[in-house]
A and B are shown apart, each in its own frame.
Chain A
Amino acid sequence: MTDRFCVHCGQAYDGSGHAECRNPRTALEPPRYCPQCARRMVVQVTPSGWQARCSRHGEATSADAPAPG
Chain B
Amino acid sequence: MTAVADETTTEADILAVAREQVLERGEGLSERQVLDVLRLADDRVPELLALAHEVRMRWCGPEVEVEGIVSLKTGGCPEDCHFCSQSGRFPTPVRSAWLDIPGLVKAAAETAATGATEFCIVAAVRGPDARLLSQVRDGIKAIRESGNDIQIACSLGMLTQEQVDELVEMGVHRYNHNLETARSHFPNVVTTHTWEERWETLRMVREAGMEVCCGGILGMGETDEQRAEFAVQLAELDPHEVPMNFLIPQPGTPYESYDVIEGKDALRLVAAFRLAMPRTMLRFAGGRELTLGDLGAEQGMLGGINAIIVGNYLTNLGRPAEQDLEMLSGLKMPIKALSETI
Contacts and interface: CB of A to CB of B under 8 A. Distances in A.
B248 A44 contact: no
Residue among A30, A41, A44 facing the most chain B CB atoms (10 A cut-off): A44
A25 to B, nearest CB: 6
A46 B70 contact: yes
Contacts of A33: 93
Interface in A30-54: 30, 32-33, 40-50
A22 B109 CA distance: 32
Contacts of B248: 25, 28
A17 interface: no
Interface string B192-203: 000000000000
Contacts of B103: 44, 46
Given A24-B290, A25-B248, A25-B249, A44 B317 contact: no
A9 B93 CA distance: 8
Contacts of B25: none
B111 A47 contact: yes
How many of chain A's residues touch chain B, expressed as a range? Answer: 20 to 34
B95 A41 contact: yes
B115 interface: no
A2 B318 CA distance: 27
A42 B97 contact: yes
Interface in B89-116: 93-97, 99, 103, 106-107, 110-111, 114
A59 B108 CA distance: 22
A24 B107 CA distance: 25
Residue among A28, A40, A47 facing the most chain B CB atoms (10 A cut-off): A47
A42 to B, nearest CB: 5
Contact of B321 (A24, A32, A48): A48
Given A25-B290, A28-B289, A50 B317 contact: yes
B235 interface: no
A46 B95 contact: no
Contacts of B251: 8-9
B68 interface: yes
B314 to A, nearest CB: 6
A12 interface: no
A30 B106 CA distance: 19
Contacts of B68: 47
A10 B252 CA distance: 13
B71 interface: yes
20 contacts: A8-B93, A8-B251, A24-B290, A28-B290, A40-B93, A42-B95, A43-B95, A44-B71, A44-B74, A44-B97, A45-B312, A45-B315, A46-B106, A47-B69, A47-B111, A47-B114, A47-B312, A48-B311, A49-B312, A50-B312
Interface of A: 8-10, 24-25, 27-30, 32-33, 40-50, 67
CB-based closest 10 A-B pairs: A32-B93, A47-B311, A47-B68, A47-B110, A28-B317, A48-B110, A46-B107, A42-B97, A45-B312, A42-B95
